[in-house]
């Protein structure tokens, strides 16, 4: 019995689970070791229509109403149970697509969403710059309006799916004098003259995901690629994070679930002092905490995702921040404890828990660090406090 999910969502979860277990698990260690981008897995996901689960039916997707955030979370969770890096080709595409889903015109949606739904073209989201990390308002990339085009100059860093994706929703300053209020979000296609890819990062974890610079040198983008209105770029980014952060939370949840499974399997089989180490209360208590935290994270994510899918996206910033904050801290704790439960073997690459521990770390950092999530929750609480005191 699954209290949160309907039949269709259960079917999506099972489909993603099958691919994760049958296709992702066997290759995850090699893809991690050799930093291989998982194009073959992308093809498998496309074959079973998993890129359609967050796209409305009007644009070749499967979503009848709302944003399909629950579907996106379920697929991300299942894929991340097997490999969080491979899962990111999917989840990063959802992140890059949300600005179009939220702010795209009919023409933009008709043009781009069916391509993404088919899995033929991946998406990415370009906000971060060398001087604009947590302070995303410190953008330097400019998009100067010249006739019927925007001319972009600047560099984005740390962009997931960079170089592999075809569609980049990107924030740039159309009115630099206005600072964050002068930022706009544009759709930029790979192959645009003046748009190239720079440094590919070498990372602690999620090696099967590519993290790369986007470089704009007089890159010309048609004006019709503007999302929303000029000056709305920062709002587009923040509203995107409201609905994409549950996806990072789901990735973290998947990593934690995968690690708990490995720890349980190992603890059952491993014998010390003449018995299974799973009999030791010291380990059972650790496992009890891990399992409890996972269930709490799941409840937080699924209820939030259901709320978003029901169309309630107005005042959810603090809830998205809570889901991402809590689930990623759980993932870090659970994977660290899983390594501990496997002892010396947990530290070795022969077992997947050391990779899970490395992968978990990123969920505390991207789409806003956990300090920033606490700031979001804190400022919501400050407003609540003022309201209660009135
Ligand atoms: C693997 C990877 C993939 C990524 N993918 C993308 C992507 O697809 N698209 C994209 O746009 N970006 C992406 N990012 C960027 C990511 O979102 C940023 O790295 C993140 O927001 C933090 O910015 P920063 O690295 O500049 O750290 P900084 O902002 O320099 O932060 C450094 C430290 O200071 C703390 N800090 C900063 N400000 C405050 C504050 N006000 N209060 C308390 N503490 C604070 C931070 O929490 C952190 O601990 C990715 C990053 C990585 C590593």
- Could you give the CA distance from residue 118 to residue 371 in angstroms, rounded to a whole number? 37
Say which residues have a Cβ less than 8 Å from residue 189's Cβ, sequence separation at least 6. 166, 167, 168, 195
- Could you give the CA distance from residue 317 to residue 311 in angstroms, rounded to a whole number? 14
Q: What is the three-class DSSP state of 189?
A: strand
Atom of ligand 1 at shortest range from CA of 127: 11
The residue among 242, 255, 220, 232 whose CA lies nearest residue 86 is 255
- Could you give the CA distance from residue 256 to residue 360 in angstroms, rounded to a whole number? 8
- Could you give the CA distance from residue 226 to residue 235 in angstroms, rounded to a whole number? 14
Does 75 have pLDDT greater than 90?
yes
Strand partners, 185: 171, 227
Count of all residues that appear for the chain in the document: 390
Q: How far is CA 315 from the centre of its chain?
A: 20
Per-residue DSSP letter, 201: P
Q: Whose CA is nearest to atom 16 of ligand 1?
A: 366
pLDDT for 2 equals 74
Q: How far is the CA of 8 from the centre of ligand 1 (A)?
A: 35
- Could you give the CA distance from residue 197 to residue 157 in angstroms, rounded to a whole number? 10
Phi and psi, residue 67, nearest 5°: -110, -5
Q: How far is the CA of 373 from the centre of ligand 1 (A)?
A: 11
User: pTM for the whole thing?
Assistant: 0.98
pLDDT band at 1, cuts 50/70/90?
low
Does 3 have pLDDT greater than 80?
no
The residue among 360, 334, 370, 327 whose CA lies nearest residue 73 is 327
pLDDT for 188 equals 98
pLDDT 10s digits, 230-283: 999 999 999 999 999 999 999 999 999 999 999 999 999 999 999 999 999 999
For ligand 1, pick from 127, 136, 158, 378 the residue to mutate: most ligand atoms within 8 Å of CB. Answer: 158
pLDDT band at 66, cuts 50/70/90?
confident
- Could you give the CA distance from residue 169 to residue 185 in angstroms, rounded to a whole number? 7
Instruction: Check: CB of residue 353 under 8 Å from CB of residue 259.
Output: yes
pLDDT 10s digits, 300-314: 999 999 999 999 988
pLDDT 10s digits, 188-233: 999 999 999 999 999 999 999 999 999 999 999 999 999 999 999 9
pLDDT 10s digits, 338-363: 999 999 999 999 999 999 999 999 99
- Could you give the CA distance from residue 132 to residue 117 in angstroms, rounded to a whole number? 31
Span 16-27, average pLDDT? 98
């Amino acid at each position: 019995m699954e209290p949160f999910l309907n039949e269709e969502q259960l079917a999506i979860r099972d489909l993603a689970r099958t691919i994760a277990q049958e296709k992702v698990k066997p290759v995850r260690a090699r893809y991690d070791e050799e930093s291989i981008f998982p194009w073959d897995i992308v093809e498998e996901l496309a074959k079973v229509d998993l890129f359609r689960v967050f796209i409305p039916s009007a644009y070749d997707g499967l979503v009848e109403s709302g944003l399909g955030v629950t579907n996106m979370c379920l697929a991300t969770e299942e894929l991340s149970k097997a490999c969080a890096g491979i899962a990111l080709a999917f989840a990063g595409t959802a992140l890059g697509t949300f600005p179009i889903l939220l702010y795209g015109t009919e023409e933009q949606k008709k043009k781009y969403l069916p391509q993404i739904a088919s899995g033929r073209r991946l998406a990415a989201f370009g906000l971060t710059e060398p001087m604009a990390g947590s302070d995303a308002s410190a953008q330097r990339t400019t998009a100067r309006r010249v006739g019927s085009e925007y001319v972009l100059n600047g560099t984005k860093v740390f962009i997931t799916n960079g170089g592999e994706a075809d569609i980049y929703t990107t924030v740039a300053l159309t009115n630099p004098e206005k600072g964050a209020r002068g930022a706009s979000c544009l759709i930029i296609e790979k192959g645009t003259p003046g748009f190239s890819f720079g440094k590919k990062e070498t990372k602690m974890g999620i090696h099967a995901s590519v993290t790369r610079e986007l470089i704009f040198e007089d890159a010309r983008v048609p004006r019709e690629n503007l999302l929303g209105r000029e000056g709305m770029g920062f709002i587009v980014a923040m509203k995107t994070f409201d609905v994409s952060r549950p996806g990072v939370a789901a990735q973290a949840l998947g990593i934690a679930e995968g690690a708990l499974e490995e720890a349980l399997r190992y603890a059952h089989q491993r014998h010390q002092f003449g018995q299974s180490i799973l009999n030791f209360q010291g380990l059972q208590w650790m496992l009890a905490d891990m399992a409890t935290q996972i269930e709490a994270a799941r409840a937080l994510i699924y209820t939030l995702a259901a709320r978003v899918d029901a169309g309630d996206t107005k005042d959810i910033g603090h809830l998205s921040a809570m889901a991402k904050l809590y689930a990623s801290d759980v993932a870090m704790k659970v994977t660290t404890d899983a390594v501990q439960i496997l002892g010396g073997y947990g530290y070795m690459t022969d077992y997947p828990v050391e990779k899970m521990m490395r992968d978990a770390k990123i969920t505390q950092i991207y789409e806003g660090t956990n300090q920033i999530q606490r700031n979001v929750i804190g400022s919501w609480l400050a407003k609540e406090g003022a309201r209660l005191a009135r």
